[in-house]
Structure 1
Amino acid sequence: MISLQTYNKSQLKELVISERFRQFPFCPISVHRAQSHISNPAAGDEDTLLILAFEQQDLAGYIGILPDMINKAQQTVKTGWLSTIFVHPGYRGKKIAQQLLQKACDEYLGHIIITEFTPEAGNMYMKSNLFIPKESLQGRAYYFRSDLHKILPVKNKKWSNFKPALKILDDGINAYVKIMHRTSSHAFQKFEIIKSLDEESAIFISTNQTYNSFNRNTAEISWITGYPWILNRQPYEPADYQFSAFDKKFEYVFIKIYTGAVLSTVLMLSVRNGTAKLYFAFGSKGKDAGVSAQILDAYIRKENISILISFDQEVNKHLDKIRTLYKKDRQRHFLMHKNLDQVLGNNFGFNVAAGDGDAVFT
């Protein structure tokens, strides 16, 4: 017999400090991710953030939901992003994932959105007949450095035997790329790199929200950067946690771009182990997108970052003109529950940025 237990902010806070939590055979949520959920400005006191599935008294699986607000005209509609779903292998075949999914949808009246899901999970969502696909974000991954000694052994273990030779090849390619880049000159506008919001950028974002389906503001950006889901590696990690919790390096970066002495654009990125992701571009776009692309190029090369992933179409038009080792198309897929789609209506334009949803934390 499968039973489901829901946890709101206060219940989740109690759970992660309990002896019961420490005795679970596998971890359903990291402590710092729980703190992030609890601190979410869009989360109400009674909103369900985590659902655990038990067979008798044994933990069998879990699903996490990240509350959010979607904008429709002058109103907001409470929604939830599915952020995790996992069933222990010992309990699979009992339709526990389907029960967790249905319960999450019931808790939010069907106002559920999903992104960054695996093909297997996507098949389950579509087979439930609860969701419809929404327009995907189109982007690109720009490769600035060669990392064959890291990439090839992951794809095929046979390459592990050649890592020293691949490392030498990488060093040679990257040295050549660095020399070639020095031959090009850019007339940059003034820009500044900061690792957390300062007063100037916070005020700027407050008057230059994303103005899309979610209108990200200063309070939300401060919450995202103040409560990351990934921390730099610690000596003790959650046992058998299936989602990102720690890594060698993870940080948020803001690039402040000035026109003359006036702040005109703020770019927000994450950098994780040599991969940078552009999440938001606050402020001027259009003609300034070319400047943003040039400054991103300079930042990426200065910090020896290997890959930049961007879904900003205007910035990408200019990044496409910059010399890189390789460019690869990327897509971010979205599924929306039919109930939410009906509430929003046929004329609603689902307009999202790369930083919207749970993906901004990973």
Structure 2
Amino acid sequence: MIEIKKICKKDVPALFEDSDFWNHPFLSVSKHRLYAHSKNPNCGNDDVVLLLAYLNNELVGYMGVFIDKIILDNTEDKIGWLSTWWVHPKTKGSGIGREILDTMYSLNQGKIGISQFTPSAKRVYDKSGYFVTLKENHGIKAVLRSNLSFVVPKLLPWTSKIKKGIDTMDAVLNFGINFKLNIQKSFIKRELKNVTLEYLNIIDNEVLNIVNKFNKNHISPKDASFFEWLKAYFWVQEAPLLELTNKNKYEFSIYDKSFNVYYIKVIENKACIGFLVLQKRNHVAKLLFSYYDTTKDSKVMANIIKLQSIVQDTREIICYDESICNELRKSNVFLYKTKKDKHSIISKTFGKDNFDDITMNFGDGDCSFA
């Protein structure tokens, strides 16, 4: 018999203290992710944050959801962005995966979306008949340094056995590359001679004004409470001793050797001209949100991202901001650049199938957190 148990925001404190739940052979959520849901300013006490699936009284699957607010056709609505979905392989053919999806759809009155997904998950979403395409964002992956230690094991999993050798190859290649980047760094600094940066943990009124000025048509306009929450409750925690953690109990992001989100206030000639939200996880930087005048300041923003990436030993930059992508494409600091595509879908329940009039940032949905 299949049973689906819902965990609402109000249930989080009790689940947090349930030792049996945390000692289960696999994790359905991490403690810090669960706690973050309980602090989500857009999540009500009765909103679902997690579904637990049982087959014959055995926990065999789960689905997580991130509650957010969106604006479509000038109307604000609540949405649940599906953030995790996993079922035990032994349940294949039981229909429990579809049961989890149907339950989440029903509990949210059909108002759900997915901001990123694997090809296999996409096939299931398509088969459900619930969704339409929300956005197909086209961006860039700009590679600054050799990153074989990340790329090769993804393509050839067996090479994880020779990780030390691949790391050595990266080190050798990057020795010469770093010499080149250090020279280029000085030229970028000259172009930013009138620019001052402030690194924030909460946004001030100047930044909020910039955000409000340049968030027109955004599907999910962000406010001060969102940015304060995002900075305070990472879903991925830094774990220098990663190999000693319980990360293998969870199928999704839980720890990594380095993880941070930077709030960068950009000031030129004593005036705030922009705000960048940049995530860095290990050697990869992602531009989550950007607020600035695209007609005249895109080069400044791109230079800031390049300079920080050089200084931080970043190897790859991923960006979907069209104006900044154009500047990155023109730059000669990179080894190479490739196209990046990000697809998102949304429920037909919202009654809309053309989303050309809205902007979806890389960080919208659950993409800011992992």
When normalised by structure 2's length, the TM-score is 0.90
Q: Does 1:316 align with 2:331?
A: no
Shift of residue 265, structure 1, vs aligned partner: 0.4
- 1:199 has 2:194 as partner: no
SS at structure 2 position matched to 1:357: coil
Deviates more, 1:165-174 or 1:331-340: 165-174
Q: Is the 8 A contact 1:80 1:112 kept in 2?
A: yes
Partner of 2:360: 352
Which residue does 1:228 correspond to in 2? 234
Q: Distance in 1 between matches of 2:253 and 2:8?
A: 22
Q: Give the total of aligned pairs.
A: 360
Contact 2:6 2:48 in 1 (8 A): yes
Q: Which deviates more, 41-50 or 18-27?
A: 18-27
For residue 219 of structure 1, the aligned residue among 221, 225, 232 is 225
2:176 equivalent among 172, 177, 183: 172
Q: State the shift of 1:137 in Å.
A: 1.0
Question: Partners of 2:151 and 2:57 in 1: how far apart?
Answer: 42
2:342 is equivalent to residue 332 of structure 1: yes
Q: Alpha carbons of 1:317 and 1:90: their partners in 2 closer, same or farther (altered >3 Å)?
A: same
Question: What is the CA distance between 1:12 and its match in structure 2?
Answer: 2.5
Report the residue type matching 1:51 in the other structure: L
Distance change >3 Å, CA 350–CA 109, structure 1 → 2: farther
Which residue in 1 is equivalent to 2:62?
A: 62
Shift of 1:116: 1.5
Please give the alpha-carbon distance, in whole angstroms, between the structure 1 residues aligned to 2:354 and 2:307. Answer: 43
Indicate if the aligned counterparts of 2:198 and 2:266 stay in contact, CA closer than 8 A: no
Q: Is the Cα–Cα contact under 8 Å of residues 15 and 21 in structure 2 kept in the other structure?
A: yes
- Identity over aligned pairs, percent: 27
Which residue of structure 1 lines up, in the alignment, with residue 113 of structure 2? 113
Tell me what 1:361 maps to.
369
SS where residue 338 of structure 2 aligns?
A: strand
Tell me if the contact between 1:254 and 1:267 (Cα under 8 Å) persists in the aligned partners. Answer: yes
Shift of 1:151: 3.1
Question: Per the alignment, do residues 132 and 154 of structure 1 end up closer, same or farther by CA in structure 2, a change over 3 Å counting?
Answer: closer
Are the equivalent residues in 1 in contact too, given 2:134–2:355 (CA < 8 A)? Answer: no
After superposition, the C-alpha distances for 1:224-262 in whole angstroms (9 at most, x for unaligned) are: 111110010166436611110111000011222112111
Structure-to-structure mapping, 1:1-362, within 5 angstroms = 1-156=1-156, 157=158, 160=163, 162-163=165-166, 164-179=168-183, 182=186, 186-188=190-192, 189-194=194-199, 196-197=201-202, 199=204, 203-204=208-209, 207-208=212-213, 210-211=215-216, 212-233=218-239, 236-237=245-246, 240-323=249-332, 324-340=334-350, 342=351, 344=352, 349-362=357-370
Counterpart Cα distance in 1 of 2:355 and 2:246: 46
Equivalent position SS for 2:48: coil
Q: Distance in 1 between matches of 2:253 and 2:289?
A: 21
Distance 1:166 1:249 in 2: 18
Instruction: Give 2:196's aligned amino acid.
Output: F
Q: Distance in 2 between matches of 1:29 and 1:353?
A: 25
Question: In structure 2, the residue corresponding to 1:358 is in which secondary structure?
Answer: coil
Structure 1 runs (4+) greater than 6 angstroms displaced: none
Compared CA separation, residues 115 and 206, structure 1 to 2 (3 A): closer
CA change 1:38–1:296 in 2 (3 A) is: same
Distance of aligned partners of 1:201 and 1:355 in 2 relative to their CA distance in 1, 3 Å threshold: farther
What is the Cα deviation at residue 23 of structure 1?
3.4
Instruction: Give, in whole Å, the separation in 1 of the partners of 2:52 and 2:104.
Output: 11
- Range with greater deviation from structure 2 (346-355 or 30-39): 346-355
How far is 1:138 from its partner?
1.0
Q: 1:205 to 1:46 in 2, by over 3 A?
A: farther
Q: 1:185 to 1:72 in 2, by over 3 A?
A: closer
Structure 2: how far apart are the matches of 1:248 and 1:220?
Answer: 25
SS of match in other structure, 1:229: coil
User: In the alignment, residue 62 of structure 1 is paired with which amino acid?
Assistant: Y
**Superposed CA RMSD:** 2.3
* Offset of residue 264 of structure 1: 1.2
Letter in 2 for 1:171: F
Conserved 8 A contact 2:208-2:223? no
| Structure 2: distance between partners of 1:16 and 1:265 | 39
Structure 2 CA distance, aligned partners of 1:252 and 1:187? 25
Cα offset, 1:318, TM superposition? 1.3
Q: Deviations over 1:75-108 (max 9, x none)?
A: 3111110000000122222111100011111111
Distance 1:180 1:89 in 2: 50
- Aligned equivalents of 1:209, 1:287: Cα separation in 2: 13
Q: Show structure 1 runs of 5+ residues with no match.
A: none
SS of the equivalent of 1:253 reads: strand
